[in-house]
Amino acid sequence: MTEIIGVRFKSGGKEYYFDPRGTRVAPGEEVIIETAKGLEFGVCSQANTQVEDDSVVQPLRPLIRLATDRDREVLLRNREKEKSALEICEAKVLEHKLDMKLVRCECSFDGNKLLFFFTSEGRVDFRALVKDLASTFHSRIELRQIGVRDESKMVGGLGICGRPFCCNAFLEQFQPVSIKMAKTQGLSLNPAKISGACGRLMCCLKYEQDAYEDAVKRMPKNESFVETPDGAGTISSVDYLRETVKVRLEDTPDAPQSYAATELNVIRSGKGRRPEGYVAPPREQLERLRRVTPPPAAPEEFSLSGSIDAALSALGGGEPRKGGQGRNAGRRRSDKPRQEGQSKADGKPRQENKPKQENRPKQDGRPRQENRPGPKPQSKEGVRPGKSPEGQSETSGRNRRRRRRGGGKPKEGGAPAGTQE
């Protein structure tokens, strides 16, 4: 077993293994590494790990030290030097009239070497340009030609999906992509739709290729003669994602029907013709192929009153009130018991509300006289028969008290007080 740490020199670049020499390095820490090009500034992507000896190439390059503030200052100066060197090199390219497009300039950590990346459709003789740049920067100059996919990886950008380029974000190396993948996945062969910003086939075609290849093995082929629950027909299209197919039935060839792959019985694969001497089975046997979908579960009934009562009980810590949908539901009751005969508001003794006497007819059929405020009918002598003047005043006072409690004034247009209607 060999102890290693993983280091990346670029965001989304390839991970390289180095010998930590007993130093504990956490992911995300900046380190100074010895490489074949000299000292380089990198970021740890994998902490100290034991790996098999066969998985590394010996001898491993060592870790020099953890990055310091001085190392970070040197890195910032190198970044400024790269920008100015790229502008000067572009002017030199125009001066020498070379057919090349500069992409990026990299400066080594010690500042002794400048590396320029460029793209071109053909070979370029840049020997005169290298001599001119060497005399200008007094450093080692190297020009390297790259492809369009490497250019997209260095420059970065947004794809048609709206996300950063995969090659710039996380792909360590390019995967081979062919037009056969687009055909297998049933995509449009329009180059504008299946090509990336670099002009090559999109790298994401490789991601789902294994799933499509597995679906192709399980799904019937296009133009196959099959039996369906509604009769025999020919497959017109296959949807590998939904695992469904469209079938042109012999009875209704102009209206293709959609079926699941499990509902088909393949008679002839990929030929598209009815076999000679084929006799369709009875309709009852074909109906057995239909896949029965279970009915959806009924949604649970939602009770507004139940949810309110549950919330009130959770806040108050007690059981919800019965019939708590009213305006006063959930109000806290006083813990002090109310004495009998007291009102809710001020605790004063409450008056008993006597039931109102209804104007019901007597047993002889004659209507009863209404108890309304006003003088009572008197006899010819001025006093009701069987009553004394003192009794008459007592009756009038009782009626006045009853009117204050809820009798009210007589309605307009009604019969005068003390008269029969």
Q: What CATH class has 219-287?
A: mainly beta
- What residues pair up with 46 in beta bridges, in sequence order? 6
Cα separation, 65 vs 72, in Å, equals: 13
Q: Which two tokens stand for residue 251?
A: 């009875």
Q: For residue range 155-171, list pLDDT tens digits in order.
A: 888 888 888 898 888 88
Query: pLDDT: is 261 or 336 the higher one?
Result: 261
**pLDDT (0 to 100) of residue 16:** 85
Distance of alpha carbon 175 from its chain centroid, rounded? 30
Q: Decide which of 84 and 305 is more confident.
A: 84
pLDDT digits (tens, 9 = 90+) for 38-73: 888 888 988 888 888 877 888 888 888 898 899 899
Least confident of 17-21, 301-305, 382-386: 382-386
Confidence of residue 138 (pLDDT cuts 50, 70, 90): confident
Q: Which pLDDT band, with edges at 50, 70 and 90, does 117 fall under?
A: very high
State both tokens at 356.
């109102």
Average pLDDT over residues 186-190: 86
| Least-confidence region, from 217-226, 227-236, 341-350 | 341-350
Structure-token pair, residue 17: 């293994």
Q: Do 102 and 116 touch, CB atoms closer than 8 A?
A: yes
pLDDT grade for 403, boundaries at 50, 70 and 90: low
**What does the pLDDT average to over 18-36?**
87
* CA atoms of 107 and 126, how far apart (whole Å): 19
Looking at per-residue pLDDT, the higher value among 366 and 67 belongs to 67
What residue spans define the domains of the chain? 2-67, 74-146, 154-214, 219-287
What pLDDT was estimated at residue 353?
52
CA 113/CA 244 separation, integer angstroms: 60
**139: its two tokens:** 């450093």
CB 210 within 8 A of CB 204: no
- Residue 326 pLDDT class (50, 70, 90 cuts): very low
Between 329 and 78, the more confident residue is: 78
Fold held by 74-146: GMP Synthetase; Chain A, domain 3 (3.30.300)
pTM listed for this prediction: 0.56
